Every structure is written in C-alpha cells, then in structure tokens.
Amino acid sequence: MIDISVTDLSALTDPVVIDVREPFEWEAGHAAAAIHIPLGDLVDRVGEVPTEAPVYVICAAGGRSLQGAAFLESRGVQAVNVAGGMTAWQQAGLPTVQGGATV
C-alpha cells in the first residue's frame, strides 16, 4: 500500500480525494475537493469512485483510510492512503471546508 503525506497531496493538481469518515466528522471540516463516502458505505458506493486516475483516501488519522484504500485496490482502483489523515491536514494548516466556508 502506498502512502502520501498531506503536504505532498496538497501540492497535487486536482487530486481525487475520497473522505471515508463519518458524516459528523465530515461536517466538522474536510478538504475542499474531497468526495464523501463513509467507510461503511464504500462497498455499496464503489461505483462512484473515479477509476481514471489514482484516488487518495483520507480519514481522521489514517486507519480507516488504509482499510478503504485496500478495499479499493482489491476492486482494481489505484488507491493511495493519506498518512495522518485530516488530523495531519489541519496540523499542517491546510484549508478545510466547514459549514460551507473555507477555514
């Protein structure tokens, strides 16, 4: 499984980011371009995951995203785990969307 740091991810142009956290976590703050598919819904919603480019899977700290990325890889999707998750994202001072506003 490949990992990427949040700073390396933030430097990419238009990455496809799948956020596998629960709805209350998503609402508290997420990366602007992320697609929200909670880990528990990923099996049923795998068809919504783009397959033409690598997808970057993020959660709160890296555990659930690792599971999600492994599942996606088993389905033939090139998936990359975001090391440290949204915790590392926020600690790095990267922008998040919360309640419709970028913070």
Q: What number of other Cβ atoms are within 10 A of residue 89's Cβ? A: 25
Which pair of tokens denotes residue 33? 């371009």
| Given the residues 37, 59, 72, 83, the one annotated as active site | 59
Q: Is 8 a catalytic residue?
A: no
* Nearest to 32, CA basis, from 55, 54, 15: 15
Active-site residue list: 59
